[in-house]
Structure 1
């Protein structure tokens, strides 16, 4: 059997393969009214199709732990029980189609309250059009966005509590795996990076101080969810900007996170500053995953323009990662898992939905 289609066990959860769906923002939840922040039919069909397509784990998009933590007004949340119940319907659909379900818990910090990317406007949404004031470790704006307010100690404690409460709702909704979003320039990443954190208290300065928020969140969530449930953390392993985070920094924080109760590191990059410089190409973030895996001695996933079964398998065979996360390739082909298995000559018995078996073999004319 290929590594890509071999099972992986994390704590008491066994995933059927190592080709997973990365969290992908859809900006399609209700933005006002009694169903604000709730996933809907779009999310159900969007996520369940990947389970039918052979994914081992389907991770739902960045889901805000508080209203002001949404990236856009149309982003989903998990700060109330109505949202929990709406997510349960999505989770049931993923399970029914053979995959496990994960969710990424997030707080956008200074990158919150922005127009969704397919809107006509760009930048921060003003309050009169449904936006809100944002928060961050320091009162430093992301370029082109409104300036945030610096969180005080009470505000930081409230963020930790919000992650804990959202984790409980995620479990009650039926999610099998939880991920904390510490990447892409959102609040936890903002605390981690010296480019956005200029505090001179216990939350700023040294790497250990800047990592305090993610470690407190990990500990709070682990205490809440118990010992059986896997906990992933997504980090940007590089800010791709002078003076920013390096893979060595993130490997150290990853070690601390594992010690605090995390199980797995999801390695991505960048997103913190507008002046980042990235060289993008097939597998361009794989070296970052490999470096963090080597230094942190922890299991990691790789992501970033991974588009074929052979490419994904080679990354695993080379020891650069333990799991492949893909995003846009699943959008292009919701049956990426079935295709990748065929490319590798695999025939996992549980991969094809029985409704699709008539297409499992292409008959010769």
Structure 2
């Protein structure tokens, strides 16, 4: 049973902290947020500049998202996928982040049923046949597919070391491939990857073992794990606590970042606040645009925002394991950060607030009562269909020629 106690002395969020073999300058992490700044599966100057801005802004570590372990495992054809050609650009990125005093993490994973066959040219793999809201196509993953993808995670982690990353974050959430296997709503397989939780968790456990076997203790290994898919009959907190315990027992991860929601079935469950249905529809091509306008209010359901909105559920995972935990969800200022530290979380992860103000951590260190300027309108989510992910409230920033920069 976990030995954690709330009676411990809470650490200071801006004090250095150990994360596996790594020491971060503070306990804040720029969460993985798809940047839409890669081109042709390679890093660009714009992607490097994006992460340098967050490193210069004070975070302990910034996370590059999303780096697929295989070409068909992407949600967009321009996303980075791990191969030797991608390493020089990623090495430039990690060198630039390190020069600002921050660490760099790479989020690795396979999109599975969230993958986009129209964009990647490969199948959207899933436990079985599943309706995809945009492409309408998924392909049941064979055992050979799964074995290949497990090996690819290990290979990706080794390449992350070559590229200078300090950590990898294994994506086990949002109904991407490993998460879709965890979900009893999506996984109806009759083999040993379906049925009881131990079988549904088999792929996630095999992936994290492959990553640990590939890198040992040379870099930190994090995992992003769903607590709740946000759909009836989906993966939920009681099973998430058990999977977290299994990951702890196997020693394959150094920390867990608990998340929620399904990019396939209920994406707004993670992004509390406004649901910008019409803004989403405006970014999509004709037939899909019409479908989103009609079905969007059912798929993009809004949920009330409050600071630290995942804290209550994440406390239940905190009570179940001793692993270091990273609090995600509505972390916008010192009040939530200090509450998380007091509740036994070792790190906090921030996404929208840093997209609005990349230097927010520096501001909070200088003026602890600083309030985030993010108003949770979530229109930043719609910008991933445009040139680059950005906060619509912040001044537009571009390179001198107005481009996204060359792939490097």
SS at match of 2:228: coil
Tell me which residue corresponds to 1:120.
none
* Contact 2:33–2:351 (8 Å) recurs in 1: yes
> Is 1:54 aligned to 2:58, yes or no?
yes
- SS in structure 1 at match of 2:340: helix
Alignment match, 2:235? 245
**Residues of 2 paired with 1:146 and 1:333: CA distance?**
37
CA distance in 1, matches of 2:91, 2:304: 36
**Residues 111 and 276 of structure 1: CA distance in aligned 2, closer, same or farther (over 3 Å):** closer
Q: What is the match of residue 144 of structure 2?
A: 154
Cα displacement (A) at 1:131 = 4.0
1:330 to 354, 375, 385: 354
2:244·2:321 contact (CA, 8 Å) conserved in 1? Answer: yes
1:300 is displaced (CA, Å) by 1.0
The TM-score with structure 1 as length reference comes to 0.85
Match of 1:24 among 33, 37, 45: 33
Report which stretch shifted further, 307-316 or 149-158.
Answer: 307-316
* Structure 2 counterpart of 1:265: 256
SS in 1 for 2:58: coil
Q: 2:13 maps to what in 1?
A: 4
Cα deviation for residue 338 of structure 1 reads 0.5
* Secondary structure of the corresponding residue to residue 131 of structure 2: coil
Unaligned runs of 5+ in 1: 31-35, 114-123, 346-365
Q: Which residue, out of 166, 187, 210, partners 2:177? A: 187
Q: CA deviation at 1:220?
A: 1.0
Counterpart contact for 2:113–2:264, Cα < 8 Å: no
In structure 1, the partner of 2:24 is 15
- Determine which of 48, 69, 73 is the counterpart of 2:77: 73
Instruction: Tell me if the contact between 2:224 and 2:258 (Cα under 8 Å) persists in the aligned partners.
Output: yes
- Once the two structures are overlaid, the 10-residue window that deviates more, 282-291 or 203-212, is 282-291
- How far apart, CA to CA, are the structure 1 residues paired with 2:248 and 2:222? 9
- Count residues with an aligned counterpart: 326
Provide the residue aligned with 2:98 in structure 1.
95
Q: CA deviation at 1:314?
A: 2.2
Supply the distance in 1 between the matched residues of 2:349 and 2:98 (Cα, whole angstroms).
19
CA distance in 1, matches of 2:178, 2:150: 10
Distance (Å, rounded) in 1 between the aligned partners of 2:321 and 2:313:
12
SS where residue 310 of structure 1 aligns? helix
* Bigger Cα displacement from structure 2, 150-159 vs 250-259: 250-259
Counterpart of 2:244 in structure 1 is 254
Any idea what SS the aligned residue of 1:175 has?
A: coil
Inter-CA distance 178–276: structure 2 relative to 1 (3 Å threshold): closer
> Do the aligned residues in 2 keep the contact of 1:236 with 1:267 (CA within 8 Å)?
yes
2:129 corresponds to: 139
Q: Distance in 1 between matches of 2:267 and 2:120?
A: 29
Secondary structure of the residue aligned to 2:14 is coil
User: Against the structure 1 CA distance between its residues 275 and 164, is the aligned structure 2 distance closer, same or farther, given a 3 Å change threshold?
Assistant: closer
Contact 2:187 2:200 in 1 (8 A): yes
The answer to whether residue 229 in structure 2 is matched with residue 204 in structure 1 is: no
CA deviation string 1:198-218 (max 9, x = no partner): 101110101110110111111
Partner Cα separation in structure 1 for residue 348 and residue 266 of structure 2: 28
- SS of residue matched to 2:238: helix
Per-residue Cα deviation, 1:63-112 (whole angstroms, up to 9, x for no partner)? 1110000111121121x111022100000000000001101001101111
Superposed CA offset, 1:315-364 (max 9, x none): 22233x2211001111111111101212339xxxxxxxxxxxxxxxxxxx
RMSD: 1.9
TM-score by length of 2: 0.76
Gap regions ≥5 residues in structure 2: 1-9, 270-302, 370-408
Change over 3 Å in CA distance of 1:297–1:11 after alignment to 2: closer
Q: Which residue of 1 aligns with 2:221?
A: 231
